[in-house]
Amino acid sequence: MSIRGTSAIVGAAQLDTFKTDGKSPVGLMAVAVNRALADAGLTLADVDGLFTASSYYAFPTLTLAEYLGIHPRHMDSTALGGCSFIAQLGHAAAAIQAGLCDVAVVAYGSTQRTDAGKLVSMAESSPYEQPYGLIHPIGAFGMVAQRHMAQYGTTSEQLAQYAVSAREWALLTDTAPYPTPLTVDEVLNSGVITSPLHKLDCCLVTDGGAAVVLVSAERARDLRDNPVYLLGSGEAVNHRNVSQMPDLTATEAARSSQRALQMAGVTLDQIDTAHVYDAFTISLLVLLEDLGFCAKGEGGAFVENGNLAPGGSLALNTNGAGLAQVHPGMLGMFLIIEAVQQLRGDAGRRQVPDARLSLVHGMGLTLAAHATAVLSTQPEP
Partner 1 sequence: MSAPTRPPITPRGEEKVFFDRLREHKLVFQRCAGCSHAVFPLRTVCPHCFGESLDLERAAGTGTVYSFTAQARASHPFFAADVPYTLVLVDLDEGVRVFANLVDCPPDDVSVGMPVEAVFDDVEPELTLLRFRPVSIEEQS
Applying CB under 8 A, the residues found at the interface with partner 1 are: 127-136, 139, 142-147, 150-151, 191-197, 242-244, 248
Where helices occur in the chain by DSSP H, the ranges are 25-40, 60-68, 84-97, 138-152, 156-170, 184-188, 217-223, 253-264, 281-291, 299-303, 321-324, 332-344
Which of 14, 17, 81, 25 lies closest to 325 in space, CA to CA?
17
Give whichever of 163 and 197 is closer to partner 1, judged by the CB atom.
197
- Rounded least distance, CB 203 to partner 1, Å: 16
Cα separation, 32 vs 174, in Å, equals 19
Give whichever of 218 and 247 is closer to partner 1, judged by the CB atom.
247
Cα separation, 257 vs 268, in Å, equals 9
- Rounded least distance, CB 82 to partner 1, Å: 20
C-alpha Rg value of the chain to the nearest Å: 19
Cα separation, 8 vs 343, in Å, equals 12
CA distances from 206 to 106, 161, 380 (A): 20, 22, 36
7 phi and psi angles, rounded to 5 deg:
-135, 165
- Rounded least distance, CB 134 to partner 1, Å: 6
Give whichever of 106 and 134 is closer to partner 1, judged by the CB atom.
134
Give whichever of 146 and 155 is closer to partner 1, judged by the CB atom.
146
- Rounded least distance, CB 154 to partner 1, Å: 12
- Rounded least distance, CB 240 to partner 1, Å: 11
Give whichever of 244 and 305 is closer to partner 1, judged by the CB atom.
244
Which of 75, 33, 30, 79 lies closest to 53 in space, CA to CA?
79
Give whichever of 151 and 189 is closer to partner 1, judged by the CB atom.
151
Which of 363, 342, 196, 370 lies closest to 279 in space, CA to CA?
363
353: preceding bond cis by omega (within 30 degrees): no
- Rounded least distance, CB 130 to partner 1, Å: 6
Give whichever of 242 and 316 is closer to partner 1, judged by the CB atom.
242
- Rounded least distance, CB 303 to partner 1, Å: 21
357-364 and 369-376 beta bridge pairing: antiparallel
Answer for the pair 182, 204: CB distance below 8 angstroms, yes or no. no
Give whichever of 205 and 223 is closer to partner 1, judged by the CB atom.
205
- Rounded least distance, CB 137 to partner 1, Å: 11
- Rounded least distance, CB 284 to partner 1, Å: 18
Give whichever of 92 and 149 is closer to partner 1, judged by the CB atom.
149
Q: Which positions ≥6 away from 216 have C-beta within 8 Å?
A: 6, 7, 8, 96, 97, 102
Which of 377, 92, 43 lies closest to 227 in space, CA to CA?
377
